[in-house]
Amino acid sequence: MMNRLSPITAAPASHAASPWWRGAVIYQVYPRSYLDTNGDGIGDLPGVTARLDHIASLGVDAIWLSPFFTSPMRDFGYDVADYCDVDPIFGNLADFDALVARAHALGLKVMIDQVYAHTSDLHPWFAESRQSRTNPRADWYVWADAKADGSPPSNWQSVFGGPAWTWDARRRQYYLHNFLSSQPQLNGHDPDVQDALLDVARFWLDRGVDGFRLDALNFAMHDPALTDNPPAPDNDTPRTRPFDFQLRRYNQSHSDIPAFIERIRTLTDRYDAVFTMAEVGGEEALSEMQLYTRGDARLNSAYGFDFLYAEALTPQLVAEAQANWPDRAGTGWPSWAFENHDAPRALSRWCAPQDRAAFARLKLLLLMCLRGNVILYQGEELGLTQVSIPFEQLQDPEAIANWPLTLSRDGARTPMPWTAQDEHGGFSSGQPWLPLGDENLAEAADRQEGDPHSLLNLTRDMLALRKANPALREGSFDAVSIDESLLAVRRRGDGQSVLCVFNLSPVPCAWPGGISGQGRVLAAVNGAAPETTLPAYGAVLVEETE
């Protein structure tokens, strides 16, 4: 049995009073790989606009656009050379305005990335800063003198490998870069830098943007004393980069970051219903995410990494991730994703190839039952898998630098397959910038569109179910039974109680003892039914009578 849904009813009036983003489902678009309209093999903004109907048909609340700003693309747009313009490979500002207008006409909010930790080394700000130690933007980036022996000012290491410092002969100083050497670190402590970044946010807000994802926000400020990071204890985790050998206490996560966040919130509050979501990674991610979202003067949400690099989807992982965000005053609101442009596709991480069809249905239902916002990465609704990219076709600078020990991010960035009969999947009339992969081409949208039992159509059903039931969209989350295979939770909200039972294993398991399955079945996948043995990857949702 693929799925079973009860009739979907309208949400109660009290649900409509909540902010649009609370409990929202947000669809992440990676523009390079969505749809190419000019035949150069790279997706563009007109391509996004042309296929917004597909996104709207899913029933999501918003789209999040990965970077499309002017950039040399050494890190595919996260190295920004002009914050307030569109890179020509994606189109122009008029294309962006048309995208926003079309999205709003379809009832979709529009979120965009903001990259405040660093710029490209081709940004005019950096070009000026590196000219001298006395120019107006001399302190807009993190510069420091060499040690007496000429070595870098501290032992800090970059995410992409090697020291986080590069020598610049113009200033006869080192500049900091936590990522590529072509991504110099902005000095977030400088009030003028903060003002300039707030002007960038204002520019996009004035163009109709409804929200921001703030990239690598805990990298926005460093320890001005340039204190060496201590070594990280050996915890038996494989280390593929020098970055992995340190506790990153001083090159990131400075205590002044929340004050800048409050400035961001003050600005966004001047615009109606703008949503702000932080991306925060690292060993202290949870405490920092909660710090950045605490109270009503900071960000609305934070983007959790709990699932993105997990080797397995277990009941314990789900329960712990949800327990870390208790439903109490002053605690922020989480956002969850199982996949994104940086992490391997979940179906390639979490199940055997022969189980992917069943697991994809279970995974989707579980995602829609989490408390918080849900991020759906493009192609997830089709069940796309990780594509193996040979070294000679790699584009990802991290994968190239650390080959073969780092799994390429390119494998999750491959183009969307729109039509199965086209060798390029209807993505482009030219050669795509990355291969689509034969497995993914077979899951093309046109093939699934006409199949009532497809994952694509199940996605539409499950999003409608979440939207129609306040307990699923905004209610509390209480784990009532957990073992190695089974997860049973109760979602409560607005007078509704929904029991959600999942078998996360490839073998059948017993219905949880002592838990009644009486009530109206809202959804079931893979042949599951209340109070019976749950099939492999079976799941069922029951609206309880209270």
Q: What is the pLDDT of residues 419-446, one digit of tens each?
A: 999 999 999 999 999 999 999 999 999 9
Interatomic CA distance for residues 318 and 521, integer angstroms: 22
Mean pLDDT of 470-477: 97
User: pLDDT band at residue 4, thresholds of 50, 70 and 90?
Assistant: very low
In 378-531, which ranges are E strands? 476-482, 486-493, 496-503, 520-525
All residues at 6 or more sequence positions from 235 whose CB lies less than 8 Å from its CB, including other chains: none
Instruction: Calculate the average pLDDT of the chain.
Output: 94
Percent of the residues in the chain that have a pLDDT greater than 90, as a whole number = 88
SS (H, E, C) 2-33: CEEECCCCCCCHHHHCCCCCCCCEEEEECHHH
pLDDT of 482 reads 97
Mean pLDDT of 139-164: 96
pLDDT at 13 over 70: no
pLDDT at 258 over 90: yes
- Residue 164 in tokens: 């986080």
pLDDT of 14 reads 43
pLDDT of 275 reads 97
Look up residue 248 and give its amino acid: R
Q: CB count, 10 Å around CB of 259?
A: 11
pLDDT of 475 reads 97
Which of the two residues, 238 and 488, has the higher pLDDT score?
A: 488
User: pLDDT band at residue 241, thresholds of 50, 70 and 90?
Assistant: confident
Global pTM value: 0.95
Tens of pLDDT, residues 497-534: 999 999 999 999 999 999 999 999 999 999 999 999 99
User: pLDDT band at residue 8, thresholds of 50, 70 and 90?
Assistant: very low
Is 339 assigned a catalytic role? no
Q: Could you give phi then psi for residue 271, rounded to 5 degrees?
A: -110, 140
Torsion of CA 158, 413, 352, 438, to 10 degrees: -140
> Can you tell me whether residue 334 is helix, strand or coil?
strand
User: pLDDT band at residue 405, thresholds of 50, 70 and 90?
Assistant: low
User: pLDDT band at residue 7, thresholds of 50, 70 and 90?
Assistant: very low
Of 87, 121, 215, 398, catalytic: 215
Mean pLDDT of 49-77: 97
Is 215 assigned a catalytic role? yes
- Residue 524 in tokens: 């079931």
pLDDT of 206 reads 98
- The CA–CA distances, whole Å, from 17 to 108, 315, 474, 499 equal 18, 33, 12, 25
**Does the bond joining 506 to the residue before it have cis omega, within 30 degrees of 0?**
no
pLDDT at 10 over 90: no
Of 36, 210, 279, 306, catalytic: 279
Mean pLDDT of 411-417: 96
According to CATH, the topology of domain 24-120+204-385+392-465 is TIM Barrel (3.20.20)
pLDDT of 406 reads 60
Interatomic CA distance for residues 263 and 391, integer angstroms: 44
Tens of pLDDT, residues 104-151: 999 999 999 999 999 999 999 999 999 999 999 999 999 999 999 999
User: pLDDT band at residue 1, thresholds of 50, 70 and 90?
Assistant: very low
- Domain borders along the chain are 24-120+204-385+392-465
Closest CA to 469 of 399, 371, 389: 371
Tens of pLDDT, residues 187-208: 999 999 999 999 999 999 999 9
pLDDT of 429 reads 97
- Residue 539 in tokens: 């799941």
pLDDT of 265 reads 97
Mode of pairing for the β-strands spanning 109-115 and 69-70: unpaired
Interatomic CA distance for residues 72 and 106, integer angstroms: 32
User: pLDDT band at residue 229, thresholds of 50, 70 and 90?
Assistant: very high
Tens of pLDDT, residues 296-355: 999 999 998 999 999 999 999 999 999 999 998 889 999 999 999 999 999 999 999 999
- The CA–CA distances, whole Å, from 293 to 112, 279, 297, 437, 478 equal 19, 11, 8, 39, 22
Interatomic CA distance for residues 517 and 499, integer angstroms: 8
